């Protein structure tokens, strides 16, 4: 093997790519990546290891994966060695589905998506689609390829548009979601913008009665912005609360952060929203959460009749690669994104182009405001 070629092993592809960059610098060419069982123990415990070969001196088309068998460096005994062959054989079978040569202009796009924490399978899917649609001439144009990939990601992002308020038509909007994602803060941002900037008549309702502190949090904002606020503890009280706010143009409803695992509470929330006859129900999710948790939470809350999605804490996330798989699974359009704790500034209507660029890591997430 060429002296210039170095092999890196890590638990995940992003980690391995980070090692490559740290050791060889950003211009290193990745020659191939593949999954490999590190040793017998990792095989028995089911831990996956990824091996990346990289070089600063070689100019060859990058490869996503290679069909060649793994090189073994750690023979301990004949028996271990035989078991490793078995592991190799099993591993090999799994590898065949990812065998794919990527032109060198496409490889950086792949690593961008992986860096943004997009699941590997999905990053591969996108890159395969870009490649399938590219002529040999296109493949020499990295800017064009990047633009096409960004467009593909844009096409996956549905936008609900901001809440539309018109005079003489009351609009009731409820925010639901787990505890701590930013529902109350987002209500305060929306309320302040509608009332102070747009001069709308805004009323607040909170059904967050499980924690006194949570009611007080909203009341503080209601006092500062100078808005009427109703506190509701039962579905029966909801009707009266909404009636009390009859001459408002916008009613923003804060709800308790119910555990999505608690069926009873989801059911209670559902009755509350039905009683209120909410026009829109926005599910609030934190972009800091992992994909599995986001998907599950969305699934649970969708039973209360969610109409759109608000993504919070963009300022705290390390990548937006989980956005596309989340949107594919929950099929909800995005209404707003928030990117900071400041009321009322850190909120913006979701923008497809900016979000797609953020997924690609092209746009600082701050620009999504
Ligand atoms: N960094 C950051 N923090 C946020 C954002 N939105 C809300 N928070 C913070 O998240 C915490 C929980 O917010 P809160 O509105 O009480 O969440 P709730 O339990 O869903 O009502 C608070 O400390 C907020 O200041 C955001 O966009 N970015
Ligand atoms: Mg709250």
Instruction: Give the residues surrounding ligand 1 with Cβ less than 6 Å away.
Output: 179-185, 257, 312-313, 315-316, 338-341, 346
- Smallest-distance ligand from the CA of 345: 1
The answer on 120 and 219 residing in a single domain is no
> Which residues, 6 or more positions from 24, have their beta carbon under 8 angstroms from its beta carbon?
6, 54, 55, 56
pLDDT bin (cut points 50, 70, 90) of residue 193 is very high
Q: Please state the atom number of ligand 1 nearest to the C-alpha of residue 180.
A: 19
CATH number of the domain bearing residue 325: 3.40.50.300
Long-range residue pairs from 193-196, CB within 8 A, at least 24 positions apart, any chain = 193/344, 193/347, 194/163, 194/165, 194/249, 194/250, 195/225, 195/226, 195/227, 196/225, 196/344
pLDDT band at 350 (very low <50, low <70, confident <90, very high): very high
Domain of residue 300: give its range: 171-368
Determine the pLDDT at residue 82. Answer: 55
This prediction has a pTM of: 0.78
CA of 331 to the centre of ligand 1 (A): 24
Do the domain assignments include residue 267? yes
Spacing of C-alpha 115 from chain mean position: 13
Number of folded domains that form the chain = 2
Look at 60-64, 248-252, 283-287 and tell me which has the smallest mean pLDDT. 60-64
Average pLDDT over residues 212-226: 89
DSSP secondary structure letter of residue 32: E
Tell me, yes or no, whether 120 and 212 share the same domain: no
| Residue 317 is assigned to a structural domain of this protein | yes
Are residues 245 and 301 both part of a single domain? yes
pLDDT tens per residue, range 5-64: 888 888 888 888 888 888 887 777 777 777 776 555 555 666 667 788 887 765 444 434
Q: Are residues 81 and 206 in the same domain?
A: no
203 strand-pairing partners: 251
Mean pLDDT value of segment 347-360: 94
pLDDT in tens, 53-73: 887 765 444 434 433 444 444
- Please tell me the predicted confidence (pLDDT) of residue 330: 96
**Which ligand 1 atom lies nearest to the CA of residue 346?**
27
Instruction: Say if residue 98's pLDDT is above 60.
Output: no
Compute, in angstroms, the gap from residue 184 CA to the centroid of ligand 1.
7
Q: Say what the pLDDT of residue 125 is.
A: 94
Q: Are 298 and 266 part of one and the same domain?
A: yes
Instruction: Check residue 218 and give its pLDDT.
Output: 92
Contact 69, 95 (CB under 8 A): no
Is residue 161 in a domain? no
Residue at 244 is within a domain: yes
User: Are 149 and 109 contained in the same domain?
Assistant: yes
Within a domain: 1:
no
Instruction: State in Å: Cα 341 to ligand 1 middle.
Output: 6
What count of other Cβ atoms lies within 10 Å of the Cβ of residue 301?
Answer: 25
Kindly report the protein residue whose alpha carbon is nearest to atom 17 of ligand 1.
182
- Out of 341, 343, 345, 369, mutate this one to test ligand 1's pocket (max ligand atoms within 8 Å of CB): namely 341
359 and 261 in a common domain:
yes
| Inside any domain, residue 160 | no
Q: What is the pLDDT of residue 44?
A: 60
Q: Mean pLDDT across the chain, nearest whole number?
A: 83
- Summarize the confidence of residues 82-86 as an average pLDDT: 55
The residue whose CA has the least distance to atom 23 of ligand 1 is 341
Question: Is 176 contained in some domain?
Answer: yes
Once rounded to an integer, what is the mean pLDDT over residues 107-132?
Answer: 92
* Residue 166 counted as domain residue: no
pLDDT at 13: 80
Across residues 163-179, what is the average pLDDT?
92
238, 352: one domain: yes
The answer to whether residue 369 scores a pLDDT higher than 60 is no
When pLDDT is averaged across residues 239-254 and rounded to a whole number, the result is 95
The Å distance, Cα 208 to ligand 2 centre, comes to 7
Please give the average per-residue pLDDT across 163-181, as a whole number: 92
Q: Which of 43-47, 291-295, 319-323 has the lowest mean pLDDT?
A: 43-47
Are 277 and 286 in contact by the 8 Å Cβ rule? The answer is no
Residue 45 has what pLDDT?
Answer: 60
State whether 128 and 46 are in the same domain. yes
Q: What is the reported pLDDT for 70?
A: 44
DSSP H helical ranges for 226-347: 235-244, 263-276, 291-301, 323-330
Backbone angles phi, psi at 7, to 5 degrees: -110, 135
Q: From the CA of 286, how far away is ligand 1's center (Å)?
A: 9
Q: Choose the final residue of a domain: 103, 120, 154.
A: 154
- Ligand positioned closest to the Cα atom of 206: 2
Do 37 and 182 belong together in one domain?
Answer: no
Report the pLDDT value the prediction gives residue 64, as an integer from 0 to 100. 40
Q: Which atom of ligand 1 has the smallest separation from the CA of 284?
A: 20
In the predicted structure, residue 78 carries a pLDDT above the cut 60: no
Assess whether 112 and 212 both reside in one domain.
no
Q: Which of 164-173, 236-245, 247-256, 360-369 has the lowest mean pLDDT?
A: 360-369
What average pLDDT does this structure show over 128-145? Answer: 94
Q: Out of 105, 123, 154, pick the residue that ends a domain.
A: 154
Does position 93 have pLDDT exceeding 50, yes or no? no
Share of the chain above pLDDT 70, in %: 79
Residues 146 and 175 both lie in one domain: no
pLDDT for 37: 60
Please list the residues that pair with 169 across neighbouring strands: 166
Name the more confident of 348 and 94: 348
């Amino acid at each position: 093997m060429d002296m210039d070629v170095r092999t890196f092993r890590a638990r995940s592809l992003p980690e391995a790519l980070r090692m490559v960059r740290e050791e060889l610098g950003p211009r290193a060419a990745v020659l191939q990546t593949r999954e490999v069982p590190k040793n017998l123990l990792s095989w028995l415990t089911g831990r996956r290891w990824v091996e990346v070969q990289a070089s600063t001196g070689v100019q060859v088309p990058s490869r996503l994966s290679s069909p060649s068998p793994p090189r073994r460096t750690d023979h301990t005994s004949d028996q271990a060695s035989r078991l490793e062959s078995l592991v190799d054989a099993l591993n090999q079978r799994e590898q065949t589905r990812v065998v794919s040569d990527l032109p060198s202009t496409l490889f950086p796009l792949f690593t961008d998506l992986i860096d943004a924490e997009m699941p590997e399978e999905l990053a591969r899917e996108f890159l395969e689609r870009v490649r399938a649609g590219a002529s040999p001439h296109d493949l020499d144009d990295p800017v064009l390829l990047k633009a096409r990939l960004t467009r593909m990601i844009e096409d996956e992002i549905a936008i609900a548009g901001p809440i539309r308020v018109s005079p003489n038509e009351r609009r009731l909007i409820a925010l639901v979601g787990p505890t701590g994602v930013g529902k109350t803060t987002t209500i305060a941002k929306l309320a302040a913008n509608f009332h102070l900037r747009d001069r709308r008549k805004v009323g607040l309702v909170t059904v967050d009665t499980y924690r006194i502190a949570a009611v007080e949090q909203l009341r503080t904002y209601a006092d500062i912005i100078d808005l009427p606020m109703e506190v509701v503890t039962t579905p029966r009280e909801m009707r009266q609360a909404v009636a009390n706010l009859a001459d408002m143009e916008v009613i923003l409803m804060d709800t308790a952060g119910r555990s999505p695992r608690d069926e009873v509470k989801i059911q209670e929330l559902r009755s509350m929203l039905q009683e209120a006859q909410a026009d829109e129900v926005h599910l609030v999710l934190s972009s800091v959460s992992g994909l599995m948790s986001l998907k599950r939470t969305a699934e649970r809350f969708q039973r209360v009749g969610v109409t759109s999605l608000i993504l919070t804490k963009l300022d705290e996330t390390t990548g937006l690669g989980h956005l596309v798989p989340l949107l594919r699974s929950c099929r909800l359009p995005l209404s707003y994104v928030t990117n900071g704790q400041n009321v009322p500034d850190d909120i913006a209507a979701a923008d497809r182009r900016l979000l797609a660029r953020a997924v690609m890591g092209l746009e600082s997430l701050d620009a999504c405001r």
